[in-house]
Structure formats: C-alpha cells, structure tokens
Structure 1
C-alpha cells in the first residue's frame, strides 16, 4: 500500500489465488487500478504440485502464486498482504476494511477467497492432507495410481469418488466409517468394478517412515492402504460479505457451502463478483484462473458502461455539476480508466 490508512482504486480483489490473480491481471492490462488483498492461506498449500494446468504441470503452488503476483505488478497492479474483515457500501462504491484498520475504497469488488476444507475429526487426517490423504482424482490421482486406495464414506459424493479412483487403481475400497453401507443401485455400482465395502469406524491412520500404510478401525484391526480419499465439507470464506447481505448457502451437490452467482460471476449484490472455489467448490486451479479472468473482463466491461453513461450525460448536459464532477473523477491522472 502507499502507507495511507485509506486508499482507493477501481477494483479490490479479495483473495490472491489463481482466480484472484488472473482476474487482477486482466483488469491491470485493461489499465484499471486494482489492489489484490491476500491473507496468505492458499487452500492447496499442502500439495507438492499443481496438476492438470497446461504448460505449468506440476508447478509448486507457491511458485505459481509468486509468478502470478509478479505478472500483476508488472502491469501496475498492487498485491498486498492483509485480511479483509468487512465489505460495506460506500456511496456508489464499496469500503473494504482490513484487520489492520486500513480501508480501501473501490468501485467494484471481486471475491476470490476460496474455501476451507472441513475434515472428519480423525487423528492424523489433517496432518497428511494433500499428501496421501486426498480428495480429487484429477489433482492427485496419477500420483496414487495402482496403489491401495481407501475412500472414506463421508457424504453423497463418496461413492462417486470411489468409482473415479477405480479408474486409476484396481485396488479401491470404500470404508463406511460411521455411515451405513450403500444399498440398492449404489451397492451394485461398487460391486460391478470390484470395489470392496469395508465396515467399521476408522479411529486413526497408520504411518511408517512418513508414509501412510493403513487405517486403524475401532476393533483394533488395521486395513492396509497407501492412500486415503476423503470428501471434506467445503465452506466458502465469505463471512466478511455479511454487511452487504451476501452470504454463503448450501451447494446443490450437498458438498458444503458456496456464494451463488450467474455464469459471469456476478452476485445478487450489484458491483460484487465472485470467482474460483468460493462459488465453484470443485473447480481446479485452471478452471478457477479462467473464471477469474472472465470475471475481470466482466467487471471492466461494467466499468466502461458506467463511464460511458456518465460521459453521455455530461455531453447532453454540460452544466450538470454531478455528471461533470463524477466524470472528472474517473478520468484524472494517467487516464488509467480507458476513456
């Protein structure tokens, strides 16, 4: 930041992951003043690499973000460390409050804060998350191909996960944990490709030489597994939007909460867009980045439309102080607003 307690820009991007940085990049290249505020808690931090991302396959998450930040800054965008605590209406724009008492005023807001994975309360699970405790076949499936894979039955998507990982390994088992075993069509879907159903509550992970070797059940037995698939409850990081009346709601797939939006990322609050996992919990890095870019383009177009309306109003009524003042505000300095 500039050191001022208060600041202003065209767009504040809340969240500096793939979606936020790509949105900021599009906006900065459109000569918009943009500030990215990132709390430094990326969801994929535990992972060794990002997968399924063309031309960046396997890149460490931290390196990808470092490159993205440099690209945004190269076009004049600003990327700052901080935690956004609230977003409120401020006249025709927004006031974005940070935990350190800074306030950034913006004409538009792009929210790309992602989500939090809430895992079952099983000892050792969180510590191995993103390593050999996994959730996505496209993010981690190749790395556990042909291994003994266990899928923890945690919700409506667990059977689907088991079927997806069966594509990658001949040895897949569904661990029922505390849930009743699947019946009917789901039981047939598991039986047909040879996916075993293993009853019993899972109480711990068995680890040797810093590698998962099995899961311990409540009866004391150990079921040998080299990888464990867990479907977490995914909860959008969106509490700071409550002052706008914008809240996360249950996702239609029953996998957690998200902030709903139209296909362009526009929310029900005019001037606020969302992109990435905060609205699409199952989006991988590439999809999140693409959504951020699309939202950035939509925001720029929205600003252009606003500026054009004001310019036309000033042309029609050159003595209108309001239109003159607002138009002058938008086109001051280095003409970064594109008029």
Structure 2
C-alpha cells in the first residue's frame, strides 16, 4: 500500500480536508465519527494501522446538553466528548476528514474504492461503518422545538435529571405501553397519551394500572410551551393536560445506505430494519464491519463505543492473519534453515 502520501493527508491531524486528485490508501476507513467510529479508530491507531475517519458531522445526540450513564464521562456534553475523542485518535496518527461517502465499491483482494461527495477518492483494505441513525419525531406542534430539553426519549439518558416531575408519554405506534411503563421508574406521576396508537394489550393494561399510569385517549394536537418551558399537552378536543416533561417514541431510521448498497444482510426488529452483524460486528459483506446505532436503535453511547472497540480489534486481527497467510502461501519471510 502506498500510504498517506497519495493525498497528503497529515498524520495525527484532525482536519485533513485538502482536496487532491490522487487516491489515498489506508488499511481501514471508518465511516462515521461518533462514539463507535472514534472508538474503532482509537483501537486501530494504537494497533499501528493506517486509518482514516470520514465524518459527515451529523451526530444523533447533538440536541442533548449532556450524556449520562457513561462511566467517568457522566454529564459530559456530546460536543465535548467528540472533541476529546478526536484529540485522542490524532495522537496515534489517525486521520479525520469531514465528508460524506457517496460510494464504496469492492475491489477484490485490494479491498474497497471509495468516492466522497466532493469527488475525493480513497482506498481501504477494510471498512468499519458507524454512520448511526436518525430520529423521526411525531408530527406534533412543539415536539421538534423542545427536543432534547423537555421532550425526551430515553429514561436512562435523562430520567434522573427530570425525576419526580409530571411526565407525559406520547405512545409509540408499535409498542404503545412500553415507554410509559419504563419511565414510571423515575416518576410517580405519568400520563400515557395514546394519540394515534392502538389500545394496549390486556396484559400491558394491567401493568399500566399497577404502575399508576393514567391513560388518555384521543389525538394530541400540540405541546403547551411557556417562558418557563413545557407546561402541558393540548388534545385535539381542546383539553389541556398539565405536564412538565414529555417522552416520545421516535421512528428510527438507520443511516445504512452505504451498507445496503454493498449488499449487507438486514433483519427486522420492532423498532425498524437494521443491518445484521455477527458477534464480532462483521456484516455479511466480506471486509465490512459495522457498529453503533446503524446496527440497532438501543445502542447507547457506551454500547456504541464498546462495539466500535470490538469491531476494530477484529478488523486488525483479520488484516494481520490475511497478511501472514499471504506470506505463508508465497514463502515470503521464511527464516533460514
């Protein structure tokens, strides 16, 4: 492999955006620079692999003021977390560039040829895809405006900070009772708004009653927001139910276009269709691994970082043994008899 010099991407810098017409060669290209991608890049950099992270700059948790539940990083802002990660990978010679991968084409034993949206061309022996997913919010006035503040989705991420306040939950269309049951761990005042979701099953109805959750039928028209923040939920019939925090179940869409274009196998879950990986985070496409929210809706930051680590370790081992097997097959590197 010809190394970084083909594109003059500077070793150890976190800004390698200079456009060049030549093709840059890497051992591994990590597509996506969130927790999973940066974690993978850190492991690969420490393993002395020529590594590039291509990041489109669209982190799912950007609206959040803080992230929780990550040991030693509890309460850190997502932006500060990413900034620290970029500094760390740079210390090990990993390159980072802003951009969007428009196309990845398998190139036999050489790996993959990639083209970025701005025309830059890259080659990599292996790919790690950590492109995350997007949340589609309910089309209710006020939800998007308050998203990440007092409109939330994950009790493990935000429950402690809003504990014992008056919760509202706008039911998820597939699992109408689940989120309300979960958040009842953090508040004794929970109201489930069925909105357009079906009635809960008799089993879930009994659970809701046991948890003390009030169920309100009818469509939600809007959230009521005042200077102090969210104060209520307005129903289509004009009723206003006082609430201080609203949890919503988003429709999640993995950013998996690169993977599906390569032919990666997928599977159905209650929260959407996701790319299938094995225990080593390898996809069905030879030479391609994936981690983070692109493979599942419930990959929190700490899980995504762990997945990126494990995927990178497997990629490094795969490269190592491929090189050794090639030497064995050709007789190269054999010691003197």
Determine if the TM-score, normalized by the shorter chain, exceeds 0.5: yes
Q: Is the contact between residue 118 and residue 235 of structure 1 (CA under 8 Å) also seen in structure 2?
A: yes
1:164 partner SS: helix
Q: 1:10 to 1:63 in 2, by over 3 A?
A: same
2:231 partner SS: strand
Cα-Cα RMSD = 1.6
Give me the whole-angstrom Cα distance separating, in 1, the residues matched to 2:260 and 2:119: 18
Give me the whole-angstrom Cα distance separating, in 1, the residues matched to 2:231 and 2:213: 19
- Name the structure 1 match of 2:146: 128
Give me the whole-angstrom Cα distance separating, in 1, the residues matched to 2:107 and 2:142: 46
1:192 partner SS: helix
Give runs of aligned pairs for residues 134-173 of structure 1, distance below 5 A: 134-173=152-191
TM-score by length of 2: 0.90
Q: Are residue 294 (structure 1) and residue 317 (structure 2) matched?
A: no
Give me the whole-angstrom Cα distance separating, in 2, the residues matched to 1:70 and 1:189: 47
Unmatched 5+ stretches in structure 2: 1-6, 9-18
Shift of 1:317: 10
Shift of 1:210: 5.2
Q: Are residue 175 (structure 1) and residue 190 (structure 2) matched?
A: no
- Name the structure 1 match of 2:329: 313
- Count residues with an aligned counterpart: 316
Q: Are residue 261 (structure 1) and residue 277 (structure 2) matched?
A: yes
Larger mean CA deviation between 297-306 and 178-187 belongs to 178-187
**Runs of 4 or more consecutive aligned structure 1 residues displaced over 4 Å after TM superposition:** none
Q: Is the contact between residue 157 and residue 255 of structure 1 (CA under 8 Å) also seen in structure 2?
A: no
Q: Is the contact between residue 108 and residue 299 of structure 1 (CA under 8 Å) also seen in structure 2?
A: yes
2:307 partner SS: helix
Give me the whole-angstrom Cα distance separating, in 2, the residues matched to 1:14 and 1:125: 30
Shift of 1:215: 1.0
Q: Are residue 202 (structure 1) and residue 220 (structure 2) matched?
A: yes
- Name the structure 1 match of 2:48: 31
TM-score by length of 1: 0.90
Q: Are residue 279 (structure 1) and residue 288 (structure 2) matched?
A: no
2:28 partner SS: strand
2:331 partner SS: helix
Give me the whole-angstrom Cα distance separating, in 1, the residues matched to 2:268 and 2:233: 31
Unmatched 5+ stretches in structure 1: 319-339
Q: Is the contact between residue 174 and residue 197 of structure 2 (CA under 8 Å) also seen in structure 1?
A: no
Q: Deviations over 1:225-263 (max 9, x none)?
A: 111111111111011234311265432xx1122211112
2:296 partner SS: coil
Q: 1:91 to 1:210 in 2, by over 3 A?
A: farther
Shift of 1:4: 2.5
- Name the structure 1 match of 2:11: none
1:25 partner SS: helix
